[in-house]
């Protein structure tokens, strides 16, 4: 039902069109059903990855002004949460979003949805690979650094992984740019009651968490580049099957999962 609503909504403007396209792709991806074994493996994978990110970037995460922003990235965009209610809200309200929201905010929403969609696709591929025989052994939902890195490298999707980092950087920059807007934050506050009444509480809460997380953050121009530089080095390490994958040249030796 919602796919027809999105498809039949006339849009104008580059970012509105981009949001329409990515929502249609997202809808089609979410309609794909996964076997129970894959669903269990996917849940274990997303939890493991979230913990890995916090462990790898513990120095950044322990910085109080960075923590809320990293929580949003690790939990809302890379995490193991159930996003179905939020995603249904977004599909249902799409005709009003493109009518009411300014183009610059549509750009931010489009980037966040595209990042979330790509992340879920990559996670699904990785979970499927983990379920296969990796070096002759099944994971049985027990993920280790060794079998994770082996499965990651076997996916052979470096271009998609690079795109994931580019979208993360873009999302951080856009949230930083707009989170300080008093008008946007006031509008979100006023919209809470109408959103809940319209059954859009999950979507509204997601937007509020994102803007709140970045509103009070200082030195975000340091955080996002640092995060991207580190994860870029880690990505190369994993594709090369390095024995210390979660390490970058400037880091100190640290224990990992």
Assess contact for 144 and 150: CB atoms under 8 A.
no
* pLDDT for 141: 65
User: 81 φ, ψ to 5°?
Assistant: -75, 160
Assess contact for 80 and 47: CB atoms under 8 A.
yes
Other Cβ atoms closer than 10 A to 6: 21
What's the gap between Cα 42 and its chain centre?
15
- Give me the helices (H) in the chain, please: 2-7, 14-30, 36-56, 58-61, 64-71, 84-92, 94-100, 103-131, 145-154, 158-179, 182-197, 201-215, 220-239
Summarize pLDDT for 214-245 with one digit per residue, the tens.
Answer: 777 767 778 888 999 999 999 999 999 999 99
Give buried/exposed letters for 209-237 (b at 16+ CB in 10 A, else e): ebbbbbbebeebeebbebbeebbebbbeb
Q: How high does pLDDT run on average in the chain?
A: 82
Assess contact for 218 and 65: CB atoms under 8 A.
yes
Assess contact for 30 and 239: CB atoms under 8 A.
no
* pLDDT for 256: 42
- Residue 1, burial from CB neighbour count under 10 angstroms (0-12, 13-18, 19+): exposed
DSSP for 20-39 reads HHHHHHHHHHHTS---HHHH
Report d(CA 130, CA 58) in Å as an integer: 26
Report d(CA 11, CA 13) in Å as an integer: 7
Q: How much of the chain exceeds pLDDT 70, in percent?
A: 79
Q: At residue 170, does pLDDT exceed 80?
A: yes
Summarize pLDDT for 109-155 with one digit per residue, the tens.
Answer: 889 889 988 998 999 999 999 988 655 555 566 899 999 999 999 99
Assess contact for 224 and 173: CB atoms under 8 A.
yes
Task: Output the pTM of the full model.
Answer: 0.85
Summarize pLDDT for 181-213 with one digit per residue, the tens.
Answer: 666 666 667 666 766 666 666 666 777 777 777
Summarize pLDDT for 53-98 with one digit per residue, the tens.
Answer: 999 999 999 988 888 888 888 887 776 566 677 777 777 778 877 8
Residues 25-51, mean pLDDT to the nearest whole number: 85
């Amino acid at each position: 039902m919602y796919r027809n609503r999105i498809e039949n909504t006339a849009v104008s403007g580059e970012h509105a069109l981009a949001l329409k396209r990515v929502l249609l792709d997202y809808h089609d991806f979410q309609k794909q059903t996964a076997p129970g074994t894959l669903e269990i493996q996917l849940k274990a994978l997303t939890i493991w990855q979230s913990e890995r990110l916090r462990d790898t970037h513990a120095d950044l995460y322990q910085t109080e002004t960075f923590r809320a922003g990293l929580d949003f990235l690790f939990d809302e965009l890379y995490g193991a949460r159930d996003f179905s209610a939020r995603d249904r809200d977004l599909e249902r309200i799409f005709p009003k979003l493109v009518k009411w929201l300014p183009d610059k905010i549509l750009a931010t929403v489009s980037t966040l949805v595209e990042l979330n969609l790509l992340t879920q696709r990559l996670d699904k591929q990785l979970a499927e690979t983990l379920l296969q025989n990796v070096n002759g052994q099944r994971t049985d939902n027990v993920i280790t650094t060794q079998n994770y890195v082996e499965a990651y490298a076997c996916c052979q999707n470096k271009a998609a992984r690079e795109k994931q980092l580019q979208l993360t950087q873009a999302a951080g920059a856009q949230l930083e740019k707009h989170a300080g807007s008093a008008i946007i934050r006031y509008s979100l506050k006023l919209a809470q009651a109408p959103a809940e009444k319209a059954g859009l509480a999950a979507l509204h809460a997601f937007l509020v968490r994102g803007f709140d997380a970045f509103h009070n953050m200082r030195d975000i121009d340091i955080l996002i580049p640092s995060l991207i530089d580190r994860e870029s080095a880690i990505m190369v390490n994993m594709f090369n099957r390095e024995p210390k994958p979660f390490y970058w040249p400037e880091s100190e030796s640290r224990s990992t999962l």
